[in-house]
Amino acid sequence: MTSVLYDAPGPRAKRRNIILSVVFFVLLALLVWWIYKTMDDKGQLEWALWEPFTESEAWTTYLLPGLANTLKAAALSMVIALPLGAIFGIARLSDHRWVRIPAGAVVEFFRAIPVLLLMLFANQFYSSYTDVSTEDRPLYAVVTGLVLYNASVLAEIVKAGILSLPKGQTEAAQAIGLRKGQTMTSVLLPQAVTAMLPAIVSQLVVIVKDTALGGVMIGFTELLNSRGTLAAFYATVIPSFIVVAAIYIVLNFILTSFAGWLEQRLRRSKRSTGAVLGAEKVEDLNAAEIGGSYGTGQSA
């Protein structure tokens, strides 16, 4: 067990580790005790506040419909944003300057703006200039905001995915006489999408989390919004937060684990070129990378 920071512990280090463990355990126990004590004093631990979650009514009336809306908005956003992102990602790699530069500007612009502003704007825009019905408007606004932002993030993922492919793929395609469009659609894009899959799945986590913005700010009845209605009906604040947070954690943890599993699998697979755009790569694709310094070749 050697790491860059510490060696296998000797007798002194072992003693020190034990002391540290005990001190840390005491601190942690104090924190837990404080939380327990406060909740007990405020009556938040009473069974009556937790009971609703053991009955089906709280779930069928509030939580499940909210969760369904969360998933609906997230899925819609992903399905619309993916092709848009692919188009803009390819456009950013175009040989023509008049395609490359506007596409780059659009992508950078929408990535620099908070999703919440996009949602607020879309909501008001639909209400002023279109005849989308009032009950559909929050969903439309949430999806619009999420699509604009995530399409531009996905465009960067697609761009990085294509650039991560070995150069020989393009050269081989050219050697057998494929045109530029054919090279892109039949050789590069299919491989890039495979390489990008883990990054795309982990982008879903970001989308799921961002749907909660619509719940608070524009009245979209997703999970967090339903929590408010539920808490008002059953007068249960802390338990409702804990249950809702747990749902988000489980949902997103499944997505994260799936992305990790997919990445492992793609790295092992014999048919891939070895270029896999890992889940953690997504965070690196940001404004700090303007000018795109992505190397070609294998990104291990």
Partner 1 sequence: MFDFLEGYDVLGAFWTTVQLTVLSAIGSLIWGTVLAAMRVSPVPLMRGFGTAYVNIVRNIPLTVIIVFASLGLADIFRVTLGAADDFEALSFRLSILGFVAYTAAFVCEAIRSGINTVPVGQAEAARAIGLSFSQILWFIVLPQAFRSVIGPLANVLIALTKNTTVAASIGVAEAALLMKEMIENEAQVVLIGVVFAFGFVVLTLPTGLFFGWLSKRLAVKR
Given 50, 53, 125, 258, the residue binding partner 1 (CB under 8 A): 125
* 8 A C-beta contact, residue 149 and residue 118: yes
Q: Which stretch binds partner 1 (CB under 8 A): 78-86, 176-184, 188-196, 290-298?
A: 290-298
Per residue, the 3-state secondary structure of 116-169, as one string, reads: HHHHHHHHHHHHHHCCCCCCCHHHHHHHHHHHHHHHHHHHHHHHHHHHCCCHHH
**d(Cα 201, Cα 196) in Å, to the nearest integer?**
9
User: Of 11, 54, 98, 128, which one interacts with partner 1 (CB under 8 A)?
Assistant: 128
Position among 50, 59, 233, 248 found at the interface with partner 1 (CB under 8 A): 248
* Amino acid code (one letter) for 50: W
Nearer to partner 1, 45 or 84 (CB): 45
Asked whether position 290 contacts partner 1 by CB under 8 A, the answer is yes
Q: Which is nearer to partner 1, 28 or 172 (CB)?
A: 28
Q: How far is the CB of 245 from partner 1 (least distance, A)?
A: 5
Rounded distance between C-alpha atoms, residue 286 and residue 284, angstroms: 6
Maximum distance among all Cα pairs of the chain, rounded to whole angstroms: 77
Q: Which 17-46 residues touch partner 1, going by CB under 8 A?
A: 17, 20-21, 24-25, 28, 35, 38-39, 42, 44
Q: Per-residue contact track with partner 1, 97 to 116, x per CB under 8 A?
A: -----------xx--xxxxx
Cβ(92)–Cβ(239) below 8 Å? no
- Is the CB of residue 39 less than 8 Å from the CB of residue 220? no
What is the four-CA torsion angle of 26, 28, 33, 39, rounded to 10 degrees?
A: 170
Give the containing element (helix H, strand E) for 224: helix 223-234
57 in contact with partner 1 (CB under 8 A): no
Binding residues (CB under 8 A) for partner 1: these are: 2-7, 9, 13, 17, 20-21, 24-25, 28, 35, 38-39, 42, 44, 108-109, 112-117, 120-121, 124-125, 128-129, 205, 208-213, 215-217, 224, 237-238, 241, 244-245, 248-249, 251-253, 256, 280, 283-284, 286-291, 293
